[in-house]
Amino acid sequence: MRLTKVQRLVLYALGEFYASLNQPLLEKNLRLRTSKITFIELLLSSQMILKQERAVYKNLESLEQQKFIAYENKMIRFTEKGAQEFHKINEEIKQFLNIRKYLKETKSSRTLQTVMSE
């Protein structure tokens, strides 16, 4: 079963949250985890996911049922399947961001024809 857009967004948000949270701890070989409610509050406060708390909770529950995430002592963690899906989403997003970066940095050697429009 394929993930919905919101499920993919939640999974990606969790991965990026853990990446930013754990970046300073990489040298010490430590990993921080978060609880479900803390993560839901973070998503809602970001206003990037325009769902109600219950809808986010249901999406996390669905991700757990599909074995993308699991809970260990009430803390969310990726399963192997979830980590693979996060990396797949991350690679897909990188392609779009690379295009944006390329277009911002590239100066055309040709003179471009432009037309003003209203």
Q: Where are the domains of the chain?
A: 5-99
Predicted local distance difference test score (pLDDT) of residue 29: 62
- Measured between alpha carbons, how far is 28 from 12 in angstroms, rounded to an integer? 24
Six-digit token string for 93: 């997003």
Q: How confident is the model at residue 83 (pLDDT cuts 50, 70, 90)?
A: very high
Residue matched to tokens 């990396």 = 87
pTM of the model: 0.76
CA distances 50 to 12, 14, 31, 97, 112, Å, are 15, 16, 29, 23, 40
Report residue 36 as tokens: 């479900």
16 touches 3 (CB < 8 A) = no
23: pLDDT strictly greater than 80: no
CATH code for 5-99? Answer: 1.10.10.10
